[in-house]
Structure 1
Amino acid sequence: MKNNSVEFIMSGRRQRRRRWILVTALLAVLAFILSCTMLLLGNTIYPVQDVIRSLSGEQIKGVSFAVNTIRLPRMLAGLFAGFAFGIGGHIFQTMLRNPLANPNVIGITSGSSAAAVFCILILHTSNTVVSIVSVIAGLATVIVIYLLSKGKTFSIGRLILVGIGIQAMLDAFISYLLLKGAQQDIPAAIRWLSGSLNGSQMHELPPLVLTVFICTPIVFVLGKHLSLLELGEQSATTLGVNTDRARILLIVSSVCMIALATATTGPIAFVAFLSGPIAKRLVGVGFSNMIPAGLVGVNLVLAADLIGQFAFEVRFPVGIITGILGAPYLIYLLIRMNRKGDL
């Protein structure tokens, strides 16, 4: 009887592992297909062999400029920003045990956005400075939210409420800047706030790429602690987790990725909000959904950008398309949580 129970448990674990591997592989293949599609499609559709030759360094009239200067930076920005938003959103939702606790809702992206808009409209700084200030502002925002919500004991509900309040204040500040900013600078700020891959350039991407490559292994190693934090503060402490240290490392790593992604592409709406739940629904439970959530974020951003470019007569920024996809889910989630009494 005991052997049968052990075998049943091990069989279930093997099935869950196979499902995780299959879903993750399919998400990676889909991301690769979407990435290739972004390099091939545009005002002019170039042959595959010409695109490959151009990427390998060969100069081909018309193709090299379109692919290497316009399409490749756009694709890489969407890929790394989507991955950063997906992982960052999953970390916050899992760690705080609430699907509403994502960077878009609790004010973290608003902190980076407010700083970026201030740099664009008031200081007229370079994109490099905008990126640096956005990261600092994102970290400062999460520190303020964490300190205000901590009190005698850490409270998830208090953190979400404080974050929503901070977000409302920062959004009001952004609106004020848009009213006071010079007319010639406002289109750039609006385009950035809507979340867009337009105008992405290769020299702007290294900070985001480097941050993703540094922070992803950190949060992956801390994935075990993240799963324990999902059980609750007391349970995680009982199991030997230094909750404050683990939470700080996870928050700093995810905020760095989210802030740099926001600085590079603007606050692409709902990607951080949708990636984790979609990944959990596809993969199931039993294994970390961190990498699948990042891949879901990649696919959401790349697919939404292709839809925004080619599905309508007018081209829309990627943030508008993801907003259209995410808003109904937010309403559904609020209704479901209200029925359960979680609100």
Structure 2
Amino acid sequence: MATTLAPPHVLAGRARRRRRSVLVTSALAVVVLCLFVLTMMVGSYYVSPVDVIASVLHLRDDPTTDFIVRDLRLPPAATALAVGVALGTAGTIFQRLLGNPLASPDFVGVSSGASLFAVSAILVFHAGSAAVAGSALVGALLTALLIYLLAWRDGITGYRFILIGIGVSQFMMSIIGYVLSRAQRYEAGEAMTWLVGSVGRSGTGELRALIVAVLVIVPLVIMLDRPLRMLELGDDTATALGARVEPVRLALLGVAIVLVGFAAAAAGPLMFVALIAGPVALRLTGPAGSIVASGLVGAIIVLGADLVAQHLLPAVLPTGVVTGIIGAPYLIWLLATVNREGRGG
């Protein structure tokens, strides 16, 4: 049987795109590593990069350095890294799967559901950090299931899913406002701190769960990248190419929602990270861009935002304040661009 080969210029173009994607992804990984080390270097007590790496890898035994690096600075740095990867990966799945740059967990209700359950655990049940984290994960999953069921009409379209998600998100935020209004001042302050989001608030259990989730789910997402590319062509085309449309869509939405839930459990709802990471990665890598690049961009955003929040402002602020400052202008620009190009749904 004869095989049909693509023209040489097409093959050369594919090779260039793959090469660009690999080079950019590798460069992003180097930037993430540098920011990760820098996060553990700076502070009231400076630690050299060599000492940071030696302490993290247990190459030396220096009690003072080990306490500062491993006990004080490594947990928030690892949280920022893992949360960024989780949100960047989840955000690009939502955007590609639903075919809309505004399709982000921040706006389709998933993050709001996690916030409602976590705030309720704090204010109503006076739960500890582990219970709050578990509540956030359950809230994200149940809210996503609710949106999926409401949006189902012989299948899922991105436009309907996003609109229903925005409606559910506003409903959740209204309930959060009511719960906050009934709380005592101290408890309300604690809940508001959680709602803003900060990588320094997670406990050991939440951090370990997040890292395990990222290490397990991200490779699974990479394996699903080819079916995801088929779904981007439309349901009919994907079916003709042999993809099982609804099972694949459910699997992708499921893993993205789990990543968002674990990230919210560890750091709260860091706004705009999931929205920004995918488009930035696509601009850098080109059409052959990978989900890995989006996760790395997410990690860069969170690590960079935490550095700014902790060390470059007159007062120490939660990480979510800086991601909000970064993301709000981007959202305004995106809304204006989508409206001009007619890509709103």
What do the CA deviations read for 1:100-130 (whole angstroms, capped 9, x no partner)?
1110011101111111111111112122222
Aligned to 1:207: 209
**CA shift in 2, pair 1:108/1:19, >3 Å:** same
1:158-211 Cα deviation digits (max 9, x unpaired): 111100000001111111121112222222211111111123343331111111
RMSD, aligned CA: 1.8
**TM-score (structure 1 length as normaliser):** 0.94
**Contact 2:281–2:289 (8 Å) recurs in 1:** no
> What residue in structure 2 maps to residue 181 of structure 1?
183
How many equivalent residue pairs? Answer: 340
Over 3 Å counting, the alpha-carbon distance change for 1:40 and 1:155 in structure 2 is same
- Give 1:59 deviation, angstroms: 5.7
What residue identity is the alignment partner of 1:164? I
CA distance in 2: counterparts of 1:24 and 1:51, whole angstroms? 24
Asked if structure 2 preserves the Cα contact closer than 8 Å seen for 1:119 and 1:130, the reply is: yes
The Cα shift of 1:5 comes to 6.7
2:108 touches 2:164 (CA, 8 Å); kept in 1?
yes
Paired residues of 1:118 and 1:177 also in contact (CA < 8 A): yes
Deviations 1:313-338 (A, max 9, x none): 11121111111111111111111121
CA distance in 2, matches of 1:170, 1:100: 19
Query: What amino acid maps onto 2:42 in structure 1?
Result: L
TM superposition shift of 1:47: 3.3
In 2, Cα distance between the equivalents of 1:120 and 1:69? 26
Whether 2:334 is the aligned partner of 1:338: answer: no
Aligned to 1:6: 7
Partner of 2:23: 22
Deviation track 1:259-304 (CA, whole Å, cap 9, x = no partner) reads 010110011110000000000000011x352000000000000011
**Structure 1 residues 187 and 59, CA gap change in structure 2 (3 angstroms):** farther
5+ long unaligned stretches in structure 1: none
User: Do the aligned partners of 1:34 and 1:302 also contact (CA within 8 Å) in 2?
Assistant: yes
Q: In percent, how many aligned pairs have the same letter?
A: 37
Q: Could you tell me how far 1:61 is from its partner in structure 2?
A: 4.9
Match of 2:81 in 1: 79
Q: Which residue of structure 2 aligns with residue 157 of structure 1?
A: 159
Q: What is residue 316 of structure 1 aligned with on the other side? A: 317
Following superposition of structure 1 onto structure 2, how do residues 28-67 of structure 1 map, counting pairs within 5 Å? 28-55=29-56, 56=58, 60-67=62-69
Mapped contact 2:37–2:52 kept (Cα < 8 A):
no
How big is each residue's C-alpha offset from its partner over 1:205-263, in whole Å with a ceiling of 9 and x where there is no partner? 11111111111121111111111111112221221111110011111111111101011
Q: Which amino acid aligns with 2:191?
A: A
Q: Secondary structure at the match of 2:127?
A: coil
Deviation readout 1:80-114 (Å, 9 max, x if unpaired): 00000000000000000001111001110111111
Deviates most, 50-59 or 331-340: 50-59
After TM superposition, the runs of 4+ consecutive aligned structure 1 residues lying more than 6 A away are: none
Rounded to whole Å, the distance in 1 between the matches of 2:161 and 2:259 is: 20
Contact 1:223-1:288 at 8 Å conserved across structures? no
2:128 paired residue among 126, 129, 146: 126
